[in-house]
């Protein structure tokens, strides 16, 4: 593990914090937007229209704002950690391109579905694009993230496959892709309970959330299995760190509580619990990875401390992020208050 230099610049820590928070909020907010699209696959025949309307209303006003956390991460990476941005975008060109196509397809098909002036046959095409790009995009996001871990990225690699395909076409990234899809579907399933009116529909969403949570746990198991296959001693690393182990234990103990809450169909309580679980999982992940951003095949890992931009740049980035947060957070809060509290049907619990 690389050394953590004592007393790095304060702004570096601000930037690291914002990177972590952006990733977390992207998963919690935009992730659920993708998840809603995934869930549309499993809507069944009955009440299809009503379920789709709920998803439409839930995503419509917020998905573009939620998407912005990804932009923020990209900006932080290329301004604050330029070597990370350039290495990742060079060697993970293919999965990143796949993800971008998904982002374009998802955003456009969702908007077209809502704003097409004629609600006719074309709705079916938009929906097809929307649901499959909602699965496709988080899968590749997971693959890209996973490819940073096993050390497959190697600037010394010769040949197309060695340089640009094997770094991500291997067990761990693929498993993380699958897990990301399941995790986002789980979040959406839980959030949508609070968006639906009490009654049959709500019961149905709650039941689906319980199923989704089980699937997410299974997919999590798959990640650990794939990690071992890929030479990543993930289980040992999680257990080796007190903080990470505590996060995992806490996330596990939340499970039965969440199931009980799902049984009661308490929208807000379920949201808080599911959100905490994802936060704990990401937190544990951050702890075991820290300070490595990209594990490199040539042994020269890129870390928060060896790949950052010069001080002057970090200062400006930190200032922009802090001022940005002061402007964005109240606006975001206002947006969520306007659309997620007043009219959303009686949310139990809180």
Partner 1 sequence: MQDLLAARSQMAVSLGFHIIFASIGMAMPFLMAISHYRWIRTGETVYLDLTKAWSRGVAIFFATGAVSGTALSFELGLLWPKFMEHAGPIIGMPFSWEGTAFFLEAIALGLFLYGWNRLSPWVHWGVGLTVGITGVLSGIFVVCANAWMNSPAGFDWVDGQALNIDPVRAMFNPGWKTQTLHMTLAAFEATGFAVGGIHALLLLRRPASALHREAFKIALLIGSIAALLQPLSGDRLAKGTAQRQPAKLAAMEAHFHTENGASLILGGIPDLQEKRVRYAVKLPTLLSFLAHGDFHAQVKGLEDFPEKDWPPVLIVHTAFQAMVGAGSALAALGLAFLVLSLRRSRLLLHRRFLLAAALATPLGFLALEAGWVVTEVGRQPWIIYGIMRTAEAVTPMPGLVYPFLLFTAVYFFLAAVVSWLMLRHIRAADREFPSASSAEPAGSGSPLPEGSHA
- By CB under 8 A, name the binding residues for partner 1: 60-62, 64-65, 67-68, 70-72, 74-76, 78-80, 82-83, 85-90, 93, 96-97, 100-101, 103-104, 106-108, 110-112, 114-119, 160, 163-164, 309-310, 312-313, 316-317, 320-321, 323-324, 327-328, 331-332, 334-335, 338-339, 342-343
Phi, psi angle pair for 19, to nearest 5°: -65, -45
Give the integer Cα–Cα distance in Å for 184 and 188: 6
Q: How far is the CB of 235 from partner 1 (least distance, A)?
A: 33
Judged by beta carbon, residue 83 or residue 255, the one nearer partner 1 is: 83
Judged by beta carbon, residue 1 or residue 346, the one nearer partner 1 is: 346
Q: How far is the CB of 304 from partner 1 (least distance, A)?
A: 15
Q: Look-up: residue for tokens 């993930």? A: 234
Q: How far is the CB of 293 from partner 1 (least distance, A)?
A: 14
Q: How far is the CB of 348 from partner 1 (least distance, A)?
A: 23
Q: How far is the CB of 54 from partner 1 (least distance, A)?
A: 13
Give the integer Cα–Cα distance in Å for 24 and 219: 19
Judged by beta carbon, residue 75 or residue 222, the one nearer partner 1 is: 75
Judged by beta carbon, residue 82 or residue 220, the one nearer partner 1 is: 82
Quick one: which of 263, 279, 48, 26 has its CA closest to 141?
26
Give the integer Cα–Cα distance in Å for 86 and 132: 29
Q: How far is the CB of 343 from partner 1 (least distance, A)?
A: 8
Judged by beta carbon, residue 95 or residue 151, the one nearer partner 1 is: 95
Contacts 24+ apart (CB under 8 A), 202-206: 202/265, 203/265, 204/47, 206/262, 206/263, 206/265, 206/270
Q: How far is the CB of 286 from partner 1 (least distance, A)?
A: 22
Give the integer Cα–Cα distance in Å for 112 and 277: 33
**CB atoms inside a 10 Å sphere around CB 260:** 13
DSSP 308: P
Quick one: which of 345, 301, 332, 341 has its CA closest to 66?
332
Judged by beta carbon, residue 75 or residue 215, the one nearer partner 1 is: 75
**CB atoms inside a 10 Å sphere around CB 121:** 7
| Buried/exposed code over 262-276 (b: 16+ C-beta within 10 A; e: otherwise) | beebbbbbbbbbbbb
Give the integer Cα–Cα distance in Å for 229 and 22: 30
Beta strand pairing status for 302-303 and 292-294?
antiparallel
Q: How far is the CB of 66 from partner 1 (least distance, A)?
A: 9
Judged by beta carbon, residue 165 or residue 211, the one nearer partner 1 is: 165
Q: How far is the CB of 329 from partner 1 (least distance, A)?
A: 10
- As given in the structure block, the two tokens for residue 271 are 């949201």
Judged by beta carbon, residue 86 or residue 298, the one nearer partner 1 is: 86
Judged by beta carbon, residue 107 or residue 349, the one nearer partner 1 is: 107
């Amino acid at each position: 593990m690389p050394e953590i230099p004592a007393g790095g610049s304060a702004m570096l820590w601000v930037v690291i914090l914002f990177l972590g928070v952006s990733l977390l909020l992207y998963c919690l907010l935009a992730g659920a937007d993708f998840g809603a699209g995934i869930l549309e696959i499993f809507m069944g025949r009955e009440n299809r229209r009503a379920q789709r309307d709920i998803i439409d209303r839930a995503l419509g006003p917020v998905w573009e704002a939620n998407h912005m956390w990804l932009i923020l991460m990209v900006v932080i990476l290329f301004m604050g950690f330029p070597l990370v941005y350039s290495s990742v975008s060079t060697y993970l060109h293919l999965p990143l391109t796949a993800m971008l196509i998904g982002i374009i397809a998802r955003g456009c098909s969702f908007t077209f579905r809502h704003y097409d002036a004629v609600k006719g046959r074309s709705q079916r095409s938009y929906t097809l694009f929307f649901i499959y790009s909602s699965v496709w995009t988080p899968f590749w996001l997971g693959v890209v993230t996973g490819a940073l871990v096993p050390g497959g990225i190697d600037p010394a690699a010769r040949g197309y496959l060695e340089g640009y395909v094997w770094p991500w076409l291997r067990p761990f990234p693929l498993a993380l892709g699958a897990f990301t899809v399941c995790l986002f579907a789980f979040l959406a399933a839980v959030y949508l309970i609070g968006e639906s009116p009490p009654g049959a529909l709500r019961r149905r969403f709650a039941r689906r959330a319980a199923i989704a949570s089980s699937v997410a746990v299974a997919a999590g198991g798959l990640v650990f299995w794939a990690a071992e296959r890929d030479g990543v001693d993930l289980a040992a690393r999680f257990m080796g760190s007190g903080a990470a182990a505590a996060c995992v234990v806490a996330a596990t103990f939340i499970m039965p509580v969440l199931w009980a809450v799902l049984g009661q169909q308490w929208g807000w309580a379920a949201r808080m619990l599911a959100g905490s679980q994802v936060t704990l999982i990401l937190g544990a992940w951050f702890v075991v990875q820290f300070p490595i951003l990209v594990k490199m095949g040539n042994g020269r890992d890129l870390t928060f401390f060896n790949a950052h931009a010069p001080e002057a740049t970090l200062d400006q980035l930190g200032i922009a992020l802090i001022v940005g947060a002061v402007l964005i957070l109240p606006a975001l809060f206002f947006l969520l208050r306007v659309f997620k509290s007043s009219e959303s049907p009686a949310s139990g619990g809180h």
